[in-house]
Structure formats: C-alpha cells, structure tokens
C-alpha cells in the first residue's frame, strides 16, 4: 500500500511540485513549494486524526494535500482542476485503488476558493489546512517597498496556529499580525472568500470555524 512518505520521495512528483513553484515565482506569487505542501499535508493529517478518521483516510488527506498545487505546472487559472487530472494519472500509474484516486482527485479539484466545495471530509481538511497557511516565510520578495497586498499580508503574520478544541466542536485559526506591514482590513480584503470556504469546510467536519487576529475574534 502506497503511503504519504512514498509520495514525498517520488522523483516525478517532486519535479512537478518544483516546476509548478518555479512558474508561480515567475508570476510573483508567494512560496508554493515543498515547505507549503508539506505544512498543508501535516495539518490536513492533524485535522483528520483529531476528528477520529481511520488511518488510511488520514493518509489520503495528507497525499491530497501534498499534491494539491501541482496544477500550477499547467496554469495558475483553474489549477485545482488541472492538478486533479494530473493526480488522477499519477496515482493510477502508481497502482492506487480507484476509490482512493477518486477521493484524492475530488479533494484537489475542490480546494480552491471560487470553485471549490468541501464535498467530502478529505476535501474539507485540505481546504482548512491550505487556507490557514499564512506566514512571513512564504514571501519571496525581499524589497518591502515593492510589496503587493499579498506580500504585505503574509509578511505581517508573525505567528499562525490552527487548532481543534478537545471537545472536537471548534477549529480556530489564530493569527498574530504585525500591523506595521499589513492591517486586519488588508487580510479581509484578499482572504474573505477563503475564510468563508473555511467555515463551510469546518461545517462539513461537524465543527465551527473561528478566526482570531491579535486576540480579537473576528469570525
């Protein structure tokens, strides 16, 4: 049975992730390479484990999360759908069962705001893990004077935590924002659609979604 660790070591997958991120670098996007996809995979696994999902479902969520951005190799536009098709072929060639391929491809194809819907629990975990990865280290532009709003918002976040409470009723995204670089309103201007999707994803898992910025609850 192929595992998340096997996926991480696969040279073809690693090439696609690296090349996809090169395209985003050329377009001026924040980091979408191994640091991002590994963080999202581990967080998706954490969410599934906390919600008492079977070990194999946890693995599938981590695999989907690790592969979720490979569609950027084709184009940033509709990269979720492109990535789902790529994953469908890759996993089929690796010998995954059709049901597992379907679960992973569905999650990847539904992870992005605008077109994504948390249609199953793996998709929900991926959405929450992906949309909560806001942090200073994702900013690649070293010239603060030339930051766009995405650079400012990510750079302003000095700490980010996504936690499920012990009662398994609430998932909270807690951010510490340095307002010298980006305001709370900046965050909402570019991420409101993401936060709405996170709320829907939390509901799919039977959770409430809460957002706290600088110790103030905003959602």
Q: What angle do CA 152, 154, 156 make, to 5 degrees?
A: 65
The pLDDT tens digits for 129-177 are 999 999 999 999 888 888 988 899 999 999 999 999 999 999 999 999 9
The pLDDT tens digits for 47-78 are 999 999 999 999 999 999 999 999 999 999 99
Rounded Cα gap, residues 28 and 158, in angstroms: 21
Residue 181 CA from chain centroid, whole number: 23
**4-217, what's its fold?**
Hypothetical protein af1432 (1.10.3210)
């Amino acid at each position: 049975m192929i595992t998340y660790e096997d996926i991480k070591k696969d040279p073809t997958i690693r090439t696609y992730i690296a090349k996809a991120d090169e395209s985003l670098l050329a377009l001026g996007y924040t980091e979408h390479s191994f640091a991002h996809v590994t963080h999202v995979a581990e967080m998706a696994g954490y969410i599934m484990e906390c919600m008492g999902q079977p070990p194999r479902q946890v693995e599938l969520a981590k695999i989907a999360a690790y592969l979720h951005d490979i569609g950027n190799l084709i184009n940033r536009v509709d990269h979720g759908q492109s990535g789902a098709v790529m994953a469908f072929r890759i996993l089929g060639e690796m010998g995954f069962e059709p049901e597992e391929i379907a679960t992973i491809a569905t999650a990847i194809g539904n992870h992005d705001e605008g077109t994504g819907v948390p249609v199953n629990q793996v998709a929900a975990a991926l959405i929450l893990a992906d949309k909560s990865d806001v942090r200073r280290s994702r900013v690649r532009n070293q010239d603060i004077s030339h930051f766009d709003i995405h650079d400012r918002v990510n750079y302003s976040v000095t700490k980010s935590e996504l936690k499920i409470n012990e009662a398994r009723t609430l998932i909270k995204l807690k951010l510490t924002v340095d307002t010298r670089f980006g305001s709370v309103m900046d965050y909402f201007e570019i991420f409101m659609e993401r936060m709405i999707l996170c709320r829907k994803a939390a509901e799919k898992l039977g959770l409430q979604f809460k957002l706290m910025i600088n110790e103030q609850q905003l959602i």
